[in-house]
Amino acid sequence: MSAPLPITFLSDYGHDDEFVGVCHGVIQRVLPGAVVIDVAHGLPRGEVRQAAFVMRNSLAYMPPGVHLAVVDPGVGGGRRPVALRSGDGRLFVGPDNGLLRPAAERSGGVQTAVDLSESPYRLEPVSATFHGRDVFAPVAARLAHGTAVEDVGEPFPASDLVDLAVSGAIVGDHGVEAHVLHVDRFGNVQLNADRGQIAALGLRSGDPVELETDRGRWQASYGRTFSDVPERGMLVYEDSSEVIAVAVNQGNAARTLGLGANARIRLAPRR
Amino acid sequence: MSAPLPITFLSDYGHDDEFVGVCHGVIQRVLPGAVVIDVAHGLPRGEVRQAAFVMRNSLAYMPPGVHLAVVDPGVGGGRRPVALRSGDGRLFVGPDNGLLRPAAERSGGVQTAVDLSESPYRLEPVSATFHGRDVFAPVAARLAHGTAVEDVGEPFPASDLVDLAVSGAIVGDHGVEAHVLHVDRFGNVQLNADRGQIAALGLRSGDPVELETDRGRWQASYGRTFSDVPERGMLVYEDSSEVIAVAVNQGNAARTLGLGANARIRLAPRR
Amino acid sequence: MSAPLPITFLSDYGHDDEFVGVCHGVIQRVLPGAVVIDVAHGLPRGEVRQAAFVMRNSLAYMPPGVHLAVVDPGVGGGRRPVALRSGDGRLFVGPDNGLLRPAAERSGGVQTAVDLSESPYRLEPVSATFHGRDVFAPVAARLAHGTAVEDVGEPFPASDLVDLAVSGAIVGDHGVEAHVLHVDRFGNVQLNADRGQIAALGLRSGDPVELETDRGRWQASYGRTFSDVPERGMLVYEDSSEVIAVAVNQGNAARTLGLGANARIRLAPRR
């Protein structure tokens, strides 16, 4: 018998209620002493795309193991509960709504997919509204214990998995047209743009950048870290997830710019 | 020596301060490597009844062990700090204000009760305001380590424990008169009504329901899960804790209805 | 090989994002099965002084081990990343901005200090904005594993460490002139005053106290715990961290008094 695998757990359950704690309880009942890493539970409610982005970006920092994720606005409806094994051997458990796939693609692609609807390891009766507790947590614990993915559900073709296409930013004549993927606690705004697109504008570290949103225009600098701009100054930078982001030094860029998830923003070199 | 028991921990300490973390520190000092499951710490401040309801409902999903709970508006006053053993061998630690009893009743009833006021395992000096740290956490860790409940405090008759009667809903001529027990992060509203009371109204899945609060009247459907009603539609359903609840699909029922804990609501079949 | 040390972890990363979870992931990759105690992560953003106060006050309740703390508004700028060993053998890891020093002073003083800028255990490439993940978490895990502090960075004189002087309250002719150090979730207000200063006013338990802030005057009582004053009554007391604090029984003193961190308040015996 090999050692149990660690479990990582990401959700939009929040910290006010017992949802996260109940899933932990279920895991410890199946696998006493399980190591569970809470990746994040305060993600915006039901925002599958944002959660998929966070999950994909954090995966490289997690030990290989079972990656449980539940952002599941369609719970109890038609969406499929699934477990996946990726090319590099990581295991993923959650709803088939696009949440798991970007992370699995980044770790070698989906090699095996199983449907958990009739899993022998689900808790009966399965409630209509809390599959984290009744399906995903107990299956994750079984996988961590060493049960093969083929034994926790019914195999189906990986090509049937839901795919949430994330559109990239577009480089045009008037700069980079981007969208907001995620706003963090500090008000830093992550965009669907990458370093190559900024380079295509001819921007170098220290250069001025003009930002345009539906609310107006702002002057920023392209730099490396917060202290590269004065206090309250606005910074465009590659963040620790290697995506282009906007921040205000000692301030809140999302509030300053009036931006939330999915909002559009244009970046251009200042003339 | 048997293996240490897991500890579950529920409180209204919140996540902004160090209260929860300090209790974890105390537990790890007494019992290095202890497994602690955080059930919930964001429960409404001082709302013993709501916390007792959450604790009772989540208990079946927790491994048998030591169940630590601290929602304690009377800390430092006359209320008794206690530890209980229930009929099925679970152990409970917290203030004697009604918080622990519903959970203990559901796990075989209170078999043994001890007063922790002079417990040999409390941290001296005991502060007047933080018994979670000074009394409950160290005692919970000792119990998890294997110390008998009779050895952590002074036995007293279980019949002396405070009982927080939770009144049930009433089925009358004009429908079910209920109260709000708990509102979760998603704005779902849990009522003190059960499936039998809804059945007594003659309601079946898919039937229309009229809701009346102090703020007005709303139309809902009786169903099984969120996707049984259209987006923004209102749903009356048996939730994953097996209590009757009200939700808005992709919305916030508590905000829509203007309801908080203890508010009254009437449910009736629509004519 | 001795057993791994526990790690305590305090930050202002909050619970909405994946920052805390990613640091946990990094720790578990370096030291599988590590025991990590989350002290607090919801501390006010960038408030180094408040965090240093919370860290120092909670330390005695933590098992000896590695004490990781990240409140780091200067990340990516000139401030030094450090690890410290204190006189009683505790280890501290975080930015050299005054955060760690008060805790280290209370546990025997700083005995050894090393600069982590070129630590062999940092994750390469080190991002400019997330040293918790790239420097502090992996170094903390190595120290917990047993690596000597001298081997994780470059030694430098402890006297070079940044010192954040915390001024104490002043006893004058018109009472104690104090400042707010920290406001907790319950709205209880911790001051930079101690029991001796209150005693110097001649106040005894049960005595009336007058409070004056920039917003007005209030009447309170000097007492031991919340229930020493009537509901909504205002209490001045020595709290569980042994500092003088102001509370409202079943209420929120910070909101009542209109006080936040660093605000001034005067306490005097009522004539």
Answer whether C24 sits within 8 Å of A6, measured CB to CB: no
A259, two tokens: 């931006």
Query: Residue C35 pLDDT more than 70?
Result: yes
Give the residue from chain A lying closest to C14, CA to CA.
A185
B105, two tokens: 């009743």
User: Between residues C160 and C250, which one has the greater pLDDT?
Assistant: C160
Q: What is the pLDDT of residues C212-244, one digit of tens each?
A: 998 899 999 999 888 888 889 999 999 988 889
How near does any CA of chain A get to the CA of B257, in Å? 20
Give me the percent of chain A exceeding a pLDDT of 90. 69
Give the residue from chain C lying closest to A182, CA to CA.
C17
- B/e letters for C18-36, b = 16+ CB within 10 Å, e = fewer, are bbbbbbbbbbbbbbeebbb
Q: What is the pTM of this model?
A: 0.89
Q: Is the peptide bond before A125 cis (omega within 30 degrees of 0)?
A: yes
Predicted local distance difference test score (pLDDT) of residue B211: 94
- List Cβ neighbours of C40 (8 Å cut-off, separation of 6 or more): B15, B16, B17, B18, B20, B21, C10, C11, C54, C58
In contact, A107 and A167? CB cutoff 8 Å: no
* Interface check C270 vs B, CB under 8 A: no
Answer whether A13 sits within 8 Å of B185, measured CB to CB: yes
The secondary structure of residue A80, as a DSSP letter, is P
How far apart CA C63 and CA B29 sit, in angstroms, is 5
* Interface check C76 vs A, CB under 8 A: yes
Nearest to C224 by CA among C252, C195, C196, C201: C195
Give the residue from chain B lying closest to C229, CA to CA.
B77
Q: What is the pLDDT of residues A10-49, one digit of tens each?
A: 999 999 899 999 999 999 999 999 999 999 999 988 889 8
Answer whether C61 sits within 8 Å of B130, measured CB to CB: no
Cβ contacts (< 8 Å) between B41 and chain A: which residues? 15
In contact, C75 and C117? CB cutoff 8 Å: no
Answer whether C128 sits within 8 Å of A224, measured CB to CB: yes
In contact, B58 and A18? CB cutoff 8 Å: yes
For chain A, what's the residue count? 271
Of A24, A73, A133, the CB nearest to B240: A133
- The confidence band for A264, taking pLDDT boundaries of 50, 70 and 90, is very high
Collapsing DSSP to helix, strand or coil, B71 comes out as coil
Of A20, A25, A133, the CB nearest to B63: A25
Q: Give me the total of CB pairs closer than 8 Å, taking one residue from chain A and one from chain B.
A: 93
Answer whether C6 sits within 8 Å of B32, measured CB to CB: yes
Cβ contacts (< 8 Å) between B18 and chain C: which residues? 10, 39-40, 54, 57-58
In contact, C61 and C10? CB cutoff 8 Å: no
Answer whether A41 sits within 8 Å of C13, measured CB to CB: no
How far apart CA A4 and CA A141 sit, in angstroms, is 9
How near does any CA of chain B get to the CA of A127, in Å? 6
Predicted local distance difference test score (pLDDT) of residue A1: 52
- What angle separates helix C19-30 from helix C137-145, to the nearest 10 degrees? 30
- The confidence band for C164, taking pLDDT boundaries of 50, 70 and 90, is confident
Answer whether C17 sits within 8 Å of A184, measured CB to CB: yes
- What angle separates helix A19-30 from helix A137-145, to the nearest 10 degrees? 30
Average pLDDT over residues A100-114: 96
Average pLDDT over residues C262-267: 92
How far apart CA B95 and CA B116 sit, in angstroms, is 9
Give the residue from chain A lying closest to B55, CA to CA.
A18
Answer whether A41 sits within 8 Å of C15, measured CB to CB: yes
| Beta-bridge mates of residue A213 | A216
Query: Residue C116 pLDDT more than 60?
Result: yes
Give the residue from chain A lying closest to C123, CA to CA.
A61
Give the residue from chain C lying closest to B45, CA to CA.
C186
C158, two tokens: 């402890």
C64, two tokens: 């000896």
The secondary structure of residue A126, as a DSSP letter, is P
Which residues does chain B have with pLDDT short of 70?
1, 166, 271
Predicted local distance difference test score (pLDDT) of residue C54: 93
- The confidence band for C1, taking pLDDT boundaries of 50, 70 and 90, is low
Cβ contacts (< 8 Å) between A58 and chain C: which residues? 18, 21-22, 25
Q: What is the pLDDT of residues C194-209, one digit of tens each?
A: 888 888 888 888 899 9
Write the single-letter amino acid at B131.
H
Which partners does chain A have (≥3 C-beta pairs < 8 Å)?
A: B, C
C17, two tokens: 């994002």
Provide the 10 A C-beta neighbour count for residue C106: 16
Q: What is the pLDDT of residues A205-227, one digit of tens each?
A: 889 999 999 889 999 999 988 88
Predicted local distance difference test score (pLDDT) of residue C157: 97
Give the residue from chain C lying closest to A7, CA to CA.
C25
Cβ contacts (< 8 Å) between A3 and chain C: which residues? 32
Cβ contacts (< 8 Å) between C43 and chain B: which residues? 16
Cβ contacts (< 8 Å) between B20 and chain C: which residues? 38, 40
Predicted local distance difference test score (pLDDT) of residue B81: 97
A190, two tokens: 């992550």
Q: Is the peptide bond before B157 cis (omega within 30 degrees of 0)?
A: no
Give the sheet arrangement for strand B36-40, strand by strand: B36-40, B7-11, B66-70, B91-95, B81-86, B110-115, B154-156
Q: Mutation test of the interface with chain A: which of B35, B37, B235, B248, choosing the one with the most A Cβ atoms within 10 A?
A: B37
* Interface check C116 vs B, CB under 8 A: no
For A:9-68, CB contacts with B below 8 A are 13-22, 24-26, 28-29, 32-33, 45-46
Answer whether C184 sits within 8 Å of B45, measured CB to CB: no
Rg of the Cα atoms in chain B: 21
* Interface check C75 vs A, CB under 8 A: yes
